[in-house]
Amino acid sequence: MKFFVDTADTAAITELAETGLLDGVTTNPSLINKAGRDFLEVVAEICGIVDGPVSAEVVATEHDAMMREAEVLRKIADNVAIKVPLTIDGLKTCKKLTGDGTMVNVTLCFTANQALLAAKAGASFISPFVGRHDDVGYPGMELIGDIRIIYDNYDFATEILVASIRHPIHVLDSAKLGADVATMPPNVIKQLFNHPLTDRGLEAFLADWAKTGQSIG
């Protein structure tokens, strides 16, 4: 499963990219607002940090306007993925862009039927929001399972990009269900490293090594 980080914080992206574990980045208007910087400048900087897809979202809601914004965004770098909402105009834009060879991430997916439409429109990625489903009492991971079955039934190439991830269990469940990508905030990626037994084991190894009085190098 690929790991994308969901942020516009270029310092955090750089730190994670240095681990070799980062396969891409997702952004949205809310994350850009938190960064407090120029949108196009931030996207360009991120595209220079990572080689994988960098999702940059249009803010227009009508097809022609979406296409105009997408034209600006895809000129930034070859690894830009245009992010569009799961609306009729968004899917019209998706079909046009992917037909031209541009990566498209269809976002704000909340049903398997919506995911089916996105795949038929040629989406590179579909972004179902599991955390927001959990927030309203619906098990978000059931949505991932349903989409996986449908995509496998028809051999769709669209990658399932699990979004709105809140904690490591979401990541584990996504991997068990066969999701292609998990996008998550930097803190969730860092939580994946943590286990108290790892910490205790390392402390014990270091304590025993200190007793030897030796050094390496």
Mean pLDDT of each 10-residue bin along the chain, 217 residues long: 97 97 94 90 97 97 98 97 98 98 98 98 98 95 98 98 98 98 97 96 96 94
> Looking at the domain assignment, is residue 15 inside a domain?
yes
> Looking at the domain assignment, is residue 36 inside a domain?
yes
Q: How far is the C-alpha of 189 from the C-alpha of 25, rounded, in Å?
A: 13
Total tally of structural domains belonging to the chain: 1
Note the pLDDT of residue 76.
Answer: 97
**183, 163 Cβ separation under 8 angstroms:** yes
83 is an active site residue? yes
Q: What is the CATH number of the domain that holds 79?
A: 3.20.20.70
Judged by DSSP in three states, 168 sits in: helix
CA 118, 103, 119 angle in degrees (round to 5)? 15
> Looking at the domain assignment, is residue 217 inside a domain?
no
Judged by DSSP in three states, 158 sits in: coil
Note the pLDDT of residue 33.
Answer: 87
- Of 83, 95, 96, 211, the catalytic one is 83
Q: Which of 137, 147, 92, 155 is nearest to 115 (CA)?
A: 147
Note the pLDDT of residue 68.
Answer: 98
The DSSP bridge partners found for residue 126 are 106, 160
Show the domain range for 92.
Answer: 2-212
Note the pLDDT of residue 34.
Answer: 87
Q: How far is the C-alpha of 68 from the C-alpha of 130, rounded, in Å?
A: 30
Note the pLDDT of residue 107.
Answer: 98
Note the pLDDT of residue 32.
Answer: 87
Note the pLDDT of residue 173.
Answer: 98
What's this model's pTM, rounded to 2 decimal places?
0.95
**160, 148 Cβ separation under 8 angstroms:** yes
Q: Which residues of 2-34 are buried (b: 16+ CB within 10 A; e: fewer)?
A: bbbbbbbbbebbeebbeeeebbbbbbbeebbee
> Looking at the domain assignment, is residue 25 inside a domain?
yes
